[in-house]
Structure 1
Amino acid sequence: MWFKNLKIYRLTDPSVFDSEQLDASLARRAFKADNGLEMQSIGWISPRENGALSYTVNRQILLTVRAARKLLPATVVNQAAKARAQEIEEQEGYKPGRKQMKEIKERVTDELLPRALTVYRDTRVWIDPVNRWLVIDTASDSKADEVIGLLVKTIDPLPIENLYVAQSPAAAMTGWLAADEPPPNFTIDQDTELRASGESRAVVRYLKHSIDCDDARRHIQSGKQCTRLAMTWADRVSFVLTESLDIKRVAPLDVLEENNEDVMQNDDEKFDSDMTLMTGELAKMLAGVVEALRGEKSL
């Protein structure tokens, strides 16, 4: 249930995510079963496989995007087109030109597409109208752009904007390391990356290893900045903060999982409980991260 990676956006008008209006908009862009003729397709699917395209618990909304892509390597198309061109040459007595070869490749592609394997990829979206967050569960910029592109086609105009903070994450993380003092309610964990900003772009990484404060200061004095830092919020959620304000490797700590497993629940109740726990904890964690970066900045 827990999102692993967070691409974070701000909602400017949460009212457009009213459930009835949202469901109608999602239905117009629902994922359609493969007809065999498209190389790629994308649309909304039910987060809970119950037919509804949105799932809401305590005003927190969960969506799921499905992207489908045909596996049809160019080498396969080229080989089939070459064989077809050879048949034409033997039958007609001439070698197909560039324009005709292009047409042959297009016909071969259309013939092979229905038999090509399809790979599906699902990406989840969490919408928090209460605290005005929209979060995509991905570490990839291209996948986030894919989801935002579908959202733009689904809801027009889409009321979101990038999250801007008063202090850059790189400057803040560098300061925390240099002072050996994390912001209130946070601790620094064993994953750090420091990068030089000059031509060398030298990088120092500490993986599963605590960085000594004296080492950190030496690297910082030599011109490096912290671009990646593992942290824990309130002894409840661990994560890695990056210089681009992405949050990666999110994981609830044992205290949360143990408390949530104490109550006997069926599958639906457990899903609702997990979603309530995740959205509640992450909303507070995101507010803490923004506060640690000296608050939001309006452009």
Structure 2
Amino acid sequence: MWFKNLRLYRLTEAFKTSPEDLNEHLSGHVFNPCGKLDLKRQGFVPPLGRHSDLLVHAIPGYIMVALKRQEKILPGGVIREALEEKVQLISDQEGRRVSRKERDGLKDELVFELLPKAFVKNSVDFAYIAPQQGYIVVNAGSAGRAEELLSALREALGSLPCIPVSTKTPVPQVLTRWLLENPESGFELGEECELKAAKDERVVRCKKQDLTADEVLSHIHTGMVVNKLAFNWKDIVTGVIEDDLAIKRLRFGDEIKDKAADSHPETAAEEFDTEFAVMTLEMKSFIEALAQAFGFNES
């Protein structure tokens, strides 16, 4: 259980719900597959998958949940092609032009006809609550997916006061300074960045490059700022920091994963427990380093 993304939210009120009570709240919002005419459904599932029936997995200080999403896949090209065939058939048989309003109605009918035959796509997003630290950490590739998970939690609990972590200094300003000077709090530069111009739409992407080279730094001297930056933190965590402080392509070092494997878990549940414990321990230190480097707002 190693997160691949990090989106960080700050609890604005103490989280006092016990894992047992949270499991009870989530039990009314479990995942059910799409019906024939559903485009999308979501609900909570056991973080341990088939190895547990519990909708909450807890270790001391941390509570994990998982939201499963199922979506019907209806490619736009397939719908357009079927619609054009139907419109052409009406035109040929009735000798008239199909109005825009009628086309919209025909399109809706086609969607309902095709839905039962559509492929389905399943995905699961994980998050853990750290009540003592006052954070919720979401493993989601986009802000929208993270917000969906938090909204589902709010619906189940009735309330979940939390907001995205914000910084005292704009993230691009800090990342740009890192390129010009030495990073801080144990961070080192990776070999990838994205620069954007403040006054126009210029974008420069650098990959597998020495980011301290003159050809990279020259873009900053023309007024561009760093929008995304690859990093290495103490050989424990690597990834890409984005302008909203989201971490993409998060990877834990081999030594950290070996630490979890050294306990020699005998079951899937024990393996999940061990990896969760090791990951959250390292993430706690990593988040503290982020807070120190970027200056998290506390109000």
Q: Number of residue pairs matched?
A: 296
Match of 1:288 in 2: 289
- The unaligned stretches of length 5 or more in structure 1 are none
Residue 274 (structure 1) shift: 0.5
Whether the aligned pair in 1 keeps the contact of 2:191 and 2:210 (CA below 8 Å) is yes
CA distance in 2, matches of 1:175, 1:81: 54
Residue deviations 1:32-82 (CA, integer Å, cap 9, x gap): 133222111111111112111111122312211111111234565566678
Match of 2:231 in 1: 231
**1:133 aligned to 2:135?**
yes
Residue 298 (structure 1) shift: 4.2
**1:174 aligned to 2:176?**
yes
Residue deviations 1:184-239 (CA, integer Å, cap 9, x gap): 3222221222222122x333332122222544543322211111222122221112
CA distance in 1, matches of 2:185, 2:158: 40
Residue 20 (structure 1) shift: 2.4
Task: Report the more deviating stretch, 162-171 or 70-79.
Answer: 70-79
RMSD between superposed Cα atoms in Å: 2.9
**1:271 aligned to 2:277?**
no
Whether the aligned pair in 2 keeps the contact of 1:16 and 1:22 (CA below 8 Å) is no
Residue deviations 1:241-288 (CA, integer Å, cap 9, x gap): 122111111111122122322232112222111010111111210111
Match of 1:148 in 2: 150
Amino acid of the structure 1 residue aligned with 2:271: K
- Please point out which of 68, 75, 78 is paired with 1:66: 68
Whether the aligned pair in 2 keeps the contact of 1:17 and 1:129 (CA below 8 Å) is no
Amino acid of the structure 1 residue aligned with 2:261: E
Match of 1:13 in 2: 13
Match of 1:30 in 2: 30
Judging changes above 3 Å, is the alpha-carbon distance between structure 1 residues 86 and 223 closer, same or farther for their aligned structure 2 residues? closer
Whether the aligned pair in 2 keeps the contact of 1:178 and 1:213 (CA below 8 Å) is no
**1:164 aligned to 2:169?**
no
Task: Report the more deviating stretch, 39-48 or 76-85.
Answer: 76-85
Task: Report the more deviating stretch, 138-147 or 219-228.
Answer: 138-147
SS at match of 1:245: coil
Residue 14 (structure 1) shift: 3.9
- Please point out which of 111, 118, 121 is paired with 1:119: 121
TM-score if structure 1 supplies the norm length?
Answer: 0.86
Whether the aligned pair in 1 keeps the contact of 2:68 and 2:122 (CA below 8 Å) is yes
Whether the aligned pair in 1 keeps the contact of 2:33 and 2:41 (CA below 8 Å) is no
Whether the aligned pair in 2 keeps the contact of 1:86 and 1:95 (CA below 8 Å) is no
Judging changes above 3 Å, is the alpha-carbon distance between structure 1 residues 193 and 76 closer, same or farther for their aligned structure 2 residues? closer
CA distance in 2, matches of 1:90, 1:173: 62
Amino acid of the structure 2 residue aligned with 1:290: A
CA distance in 1, matches of 2:224, 2:95: 67
Residue 153 (structure 1) shift: 1.9
CA distance in 2, matches of 1:194, 1:80: 43
CA distance in 2, matches of 1:191, 1:145: 28
Whether the aligned pair in 2 keeps the contact of 1:229 and 1:240 (CA below 8 Å) is yes
Residue 108 (structure 1) shift: 4.8
